Amino acid sequence: MLSGPLPDGWTGPLWALLAVVLVAGVVIVPELRWRRWRWEVREREIDLQRGVLVFRRTLIPMVRVQHVETERSVIGQALDLATVKIHTAAGEHEIPLLTEGDAGRLRARIAALARTVDG
């Protein structure tokens, strides 16, 4: 077990490693998450794709959509951004960072498709 100060020559590399981890966590990972985020609304399903190290793809059948809503946080209101939330019996899925107008149109489209498939 180490006790006391670090051996000579270790302080600089540890600070450099910390800086690299911080840059990766604050700049690179969010950028990768944004570039890997995809969604598509089709007539019979909603396809969500996301992930950085683990890629996740979710297909939501329109017949399973119970309701859909938009949500805006305080920061979202300031930036004119909204999130579309899709509710199913299995849980909730979301499509974030849409403009308020796009979110409203997407919500209406999903609701119309869910009604058409259901009815």
- State pLDDT tens for residues 55-88: 899 999 999 999 999 999 999 999 999 999 999 9
| Higher per-residue confidence, 62 vs 28 | 62
Lowest average pLDDT, out of 19-23, 77-81, 102-106, goes to 19-23
pLDDT above 60: residue 117: yes
- The pairs formed by 43-50 with CB atoms below 8 angstroms and a separation of 24 or more are 43/113, 43/117, 44/117, 46/86, 46/93, 46/110, 48/93, 48/95
7 assigned to some structural domain: no
Token pair of 85 as six digits: 């939330």
Q: Which domain holds residue 58?
A: 38-118
Domain assignment of residue 12, yes or no = no
In a domain, 80, yes or no: yes
CA atoms within 13 A on the CB side of 76: 15
- How many structural domains compose the chain? 1
Assigned domain for 3 exists:
no
In this predicted structure, the answer to whether residue 93 has a pLDDT above a threshold of 90 is yes
Question: Does residue 96 belong to any structural domain of this protein?
Answer: yes
pTM of the model: 0.72
In the block, tokens 């998450």 appear at 33
CATH number at residue 49: 2.30.29.30
Is 66 within a domain?
A: yes
